[in-house]
Amino acid sequence: MEKMVLFGNEAIARGAWEAGATVGTGYPGTPSTEILESFVTYPEVSTEWSVNEKVALEVGLGAAMTGARTLVTMKHVGVNVASDPLFTSAYTGIKGGMVIVTADDPELHSSQNEQDNRNYARAAKLPMLEPGDSQEAKDFTKMAFSISEQFDTPVFLRSTTRISHSQTIVNVEDRVTEGLPEVKFVKNLKKFVMIPAFARARHHVVEERLLKIAEYAETLEINRIEEGDTKRGFITSGIVYNYVKEAFPDAAVLKLGMVHPLPEKLIRKFCEQVDEVFIVEELDPFFELQIKAMGIEVKGKACFPITGELSPDLITQGVTGEKPGKPDIAIEVPPRPPALCPGCPHRTVFTLLHDMDMIVTGDIGCYTLGVLPPFSAIDTCVDMGASITVSQGIEMAMGKDFKNDTVAVIGDSTFAHSGITGLLNAAYNKRTSLIIVLDNGTTAMTGMQPNPLSGEMISGESTVALDYVKLGEAVGMSTNDIKMVNAFKKEEVEEAMKEMIAAQRLSLLVIKGPCILDKKHKKKKNQ
């Protein structure tokens, strides 16, 4: 068998390819992005960067309903965006296997929050697998496709940053396409049309299916007891399993590969075998609360932190109450906060906003760094698209006589993702703020993915780019209130901003300038 050293994300893509998947959709977001970037390199597959995660999940669901094995990828907060179709996809089920990857980010290496998406599996009543290294990332992906088809349900695969972005050795296998569902859309109204009368019946199917999967979980080989010292037993999953093995190599462990639904009988059996049970899990007490509800006495968040990543040392400390007696090698490392690159087109607007003393509602992307000195020019940042909408809330709160001094600042990918509806809302409700789109021609923050403003698809093929002027006109703005300026011409940008703020009408200013890193990257590629 051939071996390769793969990142967890590459292993997920490889697993999907080996499983015969032919469709991949997603929206970039750390730590998930490289899954689709790797998947697109396989010639047999059809892949897209979707406009946002809701769209990705719906496109993916359409493909799975038609019979194609389909991979849908996103970061943890992306599942919030996709949550509407997510819950109902549990009702419709699929035809071809559908695996939804949620890449969670404990410790917030590159995210606006630290949510634990195992809760989504429970809330949406979907099974979820969680690998602990790249080999498992590949194997679990393949298994997820089989489970998906066996039980007619989308299946979650949960990764975390340490799994997605670490490399381990993987045994690779051939792609298998025999025995997969026929790719043909077959009408089935009671399954695919979720009007209340049909959905009511499907809810029963969902509940019965979940019970069947819980029974199946009891014998699933990826839920395994590792015999060991029975003084203490550990129940864990994912990357944390590796930390437990490092901290307590001889202890008995129950490693859960399927983290939802839980195998209750197996858990009871394990807990009866050991004197004291520790549940070691990052973020929420997801296993702990469910296992306590089974009436089993366990220790969990009383010993281990609920925030951030765990580590072998934190686990040792949580169990023994003592700090590991390792030599103190702590050294003072100077802080190195991230900063906008020298030559970044976003610098101009933040320099101006800093001097203008406006209320700046910000958004998510490289440009969020405008919050830090020397610019100190962003006052809010919540989620993708919220710059445009939060500014409207400020305007509503301030009332009719408000001299609008709010400026919403948003990147091009973020504008396409979820800014357009905010713009429509502003036009519809006669709001008056200035919206600035910082168009650097790419999705820079996540590593230069093309988007609907950049005229390119994931494959590198050219495509249409959204026309800001026509969009503005279509939502009801006057052409005079829509302007495009060059990011590197500071006077032009300043003049446009001042003029548009003075107008006290809804205005759209697009500041264009290519991302300096993307420019270099493209130049290299073309050499």
**CA–CA separation, 93 vs 191, rounded Å?**
7
Residues 6+ apart with CB under 8 A from 407: 353, 358, 359, 360, 361, 391, 433, 434, 435, 436, 497, 501
CB atoms within 10 A of CB 186: 12
Helices 312-320 and 238-247, interaxial angle, to 10°? 60
CB-wise, 31 or 318, nearer to ligand TPP?
31
Give the shortest CB-104-to-ligand TPP separation in angstroms: 13
Least CB distance to ligand TPP at residue 54 (A): 9
Least distance from C-beta 366 to ligand TPP, angstroms? 4
Residue nearest to ligand TPP (CB): 411
CB of residue 244 to ligand TPP, shortest distance in Å: 30
Cα dihedral 306, 311, 315, 321 sign: negative
Which positions lie near ligand TPP, rule CB under 6 A? 27-29, 53, 75, 77-78, 81, 112, 364-367, 384, 411-414, 440, 442-446
Distance set, CA 466 to CA 162, 469, 471 (Å): 36, 9, 8
Q: Please name which of 137, 152, 161, 109 lies closest in space to residue 39, comparing C-alpha atoms.
A: 137
- How many separate helices (H) and strands (E) can be counted in the chain? 21, 18
Shortest reach from residue 260's CB to ligand TPP, in Å: 22
Which residue's structure tokens are 């893509």?
13
**327 alpha carbon, distance to own chain's centre:** 38
Of 406 and 442, which CB lies nearer to ligand TPP in the complex structure? 442
Query: Which of 133/363 has CB closer to ligand TPP?
Result: 363
Structure tokens at 87: 């819950």
25: helix, coil or strand? strand
- The distance of closest approach from Cβ of residue 45 to ligand TPP in the complex, given in angstroms and rounded to an integer, is 22
Nearer to ligand TPP, 78 or 422 (CB): 78
Comparing CB distances to ligand TPP, the nearer of 210 and 366 is 366
Q: Which residue lies nearer to ligand TPP by CB, 33 or 70?
A: 33
Residue 194 beta carbon to ligand TPP: minimum distance, rounded to whole angstroms: 24
CB of 520 to ligand TPP, least distance (A): 15
Of the pair 27, 278, the CB lying nearest ligand TPP is at 27
Report, in angstroms and rounded to the nearest whole number, the Rg of the chain calculated over CA atoms: 25
Which residue type sits at 276? E
Residue 111 or residue 406: which is nearer to ligand TPP going by CB?
Answer: 111
Closest CA to 317 of 308, 307, 304: 304
Query: Nearer Cβ to ligand TPP, position 139 or 363?
Result: 363
Instruction: Round to whole Å and give the CA distance between 336 and 431.
Output: 40
The encoded tokens of residue 126 equal: 């979907």
Place of tokens 């039980």: 151
- Minimal distance in Å, beta carbon 383 to ligand TPP? 6
Q: Residue 267: helix, strand or coil by DSSP?
A: helix
Structure token digits, residue 370? 């405008």
Could you tell me the smallest distance in angstroms from the CB atom of residue 177 to ligand TPP? Answer: 32
Q: Which helix (H) or strand (E) holds 169?
A: strand 167-172
Nearer to ligand TPP, 52 or 70 (CB): 52
